[in-house]
Amino acid sequence: MRNLIYSLYEKRLSSKITGAEARTDLPKHVAVMLDGNRRWAKVRQLSKAADGHAAGAQKIFEFLGWCDELGIEVVTLYLLSTDNVRNREAAELSDLLQIIGGLADDLADKGNWRMRLMGVRELLPPALLERLQAAEVATVDRPGTQVNLAIGYGGRNEIVDAVRDILRERADKGESAGQIADELTPELISAHLYTGGLPDPDLIIRTSGEQRLSGFLLWQSASSELYFEEALWPDFRKVDFLRALRAYESRHRRFGA
């Protein structure tokens, strides 16, 4: 009975968002902080945190399917932070990196998505980095949703990397420090971020009830709408996503005002 109720509610929400009376301002770029995998495994008394990470990886395929149905153009998924790489226990991190490698392989094999790796590549094990870069190359010409995988990612690192790229690029052209400073603009920095060439996220969703960005897309989120969902990521349902989209549609975006 509960499943039937949720099914009917899901259809009702979907019709409000995509039906004849729906508004047309669905987000072009949705970013998600996939939080709660370890707690999901603990609640179910599973033996390893990796069981939660594996369940979370499988949920990504469902989620991308929902985005395809709704015509979401760009999706950014926060999978692993720089702090995670440096501070997680070795055994859990090893399991998680294997799951991420398998996820990238499967995304390249099964979908029509274009993938982009976002993060400090030097932090990742060479074998994993090779798999991730192979997925980027294999999907570069696909016409589907742009899927950004934030792995070994930190928002501050991203901004530092962007400024470094600008300094190196301009210095190679013989420009002085003063010239570079005079030409530095928010638009120039944006173009050198990991998301360069893509729209900033319209909507950022974080699961598991936590209400903070934790360094995610610090520059790009200046005008993003934030939505915090209580469900742990592996339990995130289509109806939860539709509720987030309905909340987004109901807000009057002020773009910094």
* Per-residue pLDDT at 28 exceeds 80: yes
- Per-residue pLDDT tens over the stretch 40-71: 999 999 989 999 999 999 999 999 999 999 99
* Cα 28 from chain centre: 13
Q: What is the pLDDT of residue 25?
A: 81
Q: What is the pLDDT of residue 4?
A: 59
* Per-residue pLDDT at 3 exceeds 80: no
Average pLDDT, the chain: 92
Q: Which residues are catalytic?
A: 35, 84
**Confidence label for 250 from pLDDT (cuts 50, 70 and 90):** confident
Lowest mean pLDDT among 20-34, 65-79, 101-115, 133-147: 20-34
Long-range contacts made by residues 134-142, C-beta under 8 angstroms, separation at least 24? 134/108, 135/104, 135/105, 135/107, 135/108, 138/108, 139/107, 139/108, 139/113, 139/114, 139/115, 140/114, 141/114, 142/112, 142/113, 142/114
Domains defined for the chain, CATH in brackets: 26-250 (3.40.1180.10)
Give, in order, the Cα–Cα distances in Å from 87 to each of 56, 82, 118. Answer: 20, 9, 19
- Per-residue pLDDT tens over the stretch 111-154: 899 999 999 999 999 999 999 999 999 999 999 999 999 999 99
- Per-residue pLDDT tens over the stretch 154-194: 999 999 999 999 999 999 999 999 999 999 999 999 999 99
* Per-residue pLDDT at 20 exceeds 50: no
Lowest mean pLDDT among 18-22, 79-83, 92-96, 240-244: 18-22
Hey, what are 148's tokens? 């950004």
